[in-house]
Amino acid sequence: MGVKKRRKEYKVLCKGCGVEFETIYREKKFHTKECYWDFLKGKPLPHNPGFKKNHTPWNKGKECPQIGIFLKGKKRPEKVKKKISKTLKGKHNSPKTEFKKGNHPSSEFKKGSIPWNKGKTGLCSEKTLKKMGKSHIGQIPWNKGTKGIMKSWNKGMKMSEDYCRTNSEAQIKKYKKGRIVWNKGEKMGEEHYKNNCDSHNTEEYKKKTSKIHKEKFLNPEFLKKLHKSLNLKPNKKEEILIELLDKILPNEYKYVGDYSFWLEGRNPDFLNVNGQKKLIELFGDYWHNLEKFPNKETPEERISHFKKYGFDTLIIWEKELKNVDKLAKKIIGFNGE
């Protein structure tokens, strides 16, 4: 009887637990079945060191003969593709591989899931709440100093015609198939009208609201905040008048229609900066039409209001901007008086 040759043993690192073990089979990757199932479930052990330094994989620089020779430059048949898809259905990669692919886990609640603290109050005592409040004191918010730096990704971008067309067609198809608007057929109840609409239409309520608004516009601190928050800029008609004033009377009038200058709740459009107490108002043909807006302030009322503080006012209508030469003579005559 001849002596049996001893098979060659290979040292392999287990992918599940990271322990080095000896096997006859070079392609074996797991020490036990438990390691294999833990690896499939995505539960890598904390002591798994992975590849050690100066460790070379067994297949480095080698090509698989099946791929390198038989399938190179060829497409898989549909039967093989269907078999592969059936075998892979229901199987998921480990969280590490999914994260590498870019499939990050979403932190949003799924449909039907209820948060653990829904409807619960008084979970934290007053002491803990005070401690939490003190811990936040002195913390700098993440977006401090980013005003004007952070911009939306689609600022200045316009949608293409093809995109707008496809989007509109998709919405039309949805409504044709039977999609219904969420509030279709619903009407405001009588109780809502009685509680809200009827109470707002009374004269007492209107007087109270008018007083509150008048007091706000007399407060200089409120007006400063309003000027900073709105950041108003001149419209097209005002820009035309600004150009004309710069040509005729340079460094004479300043645009203050951005709520930077007030006189007892009234904001003029242009203010003389050269020592004269003179104002210029630009009235739009539509918004200052008394037939459409009878409650609007008349030009005479506007002039008399500024006259209380010693200011002379010139009112320019939108129509007059068409004849620039005539308007220029009118402004020069008002400024020279």
Same structural domain for residues 315 and 263? yes
**Domain containing residue 48:** 8-58+87-103
Structure tokens belonging to residue 137: 């004191």
110 within a domain of the structure (yes/no): no
Cα–Cα nearest to 49, from 15, 100, 98, 23: 15
- Domain tally, the chain: 3
Q: What is the pLDDT of residues 187-219, one digit of tens each?
A: 666 666 666 666 667 788 888 888 888 888 889
Distance between CA atoms of residues 259 and 268, nearest Å: 8
Contact (Cβ atoms closer than 8 angstroms) between residue 62 and residue 24: no
> What CATH number does residue 236 fall under?
3.40.960.10
Same structural domain for residues 274 and 321? yes
Q: Return the higher-pLDDT residue of 160 and 185.
A: 160
Supply the pLDDT for residue 48. Answer: 47
Q: What is the pLDDT of residues 125-158, one digit of tens each?
A: 888 888 888 888 888 887 787 776 667 777 778 8
Same structural domain for residues 241 and 314? yes
202 within a domain of the structure (yes/no): yes
Domain edge (last residue) among 40, 73, 103: 103
3 within a domain of the structure (yes/no): no
Q: Return the higher-pLDDT residue of 66 and 85.
A: 85
Q: What is the pLDDT of residues 45-57, one digit of tens each?
A: 554 455 556 667 7
Helical spans, DSSP H, in the chain: 33-41, 65, 78-88, 95-101, 126-136, 161-176, 190-192, 198-200, 203-218, 220-230, 236-248, 299-307, 324-336
Same structural domain for residues 209 and 237? no
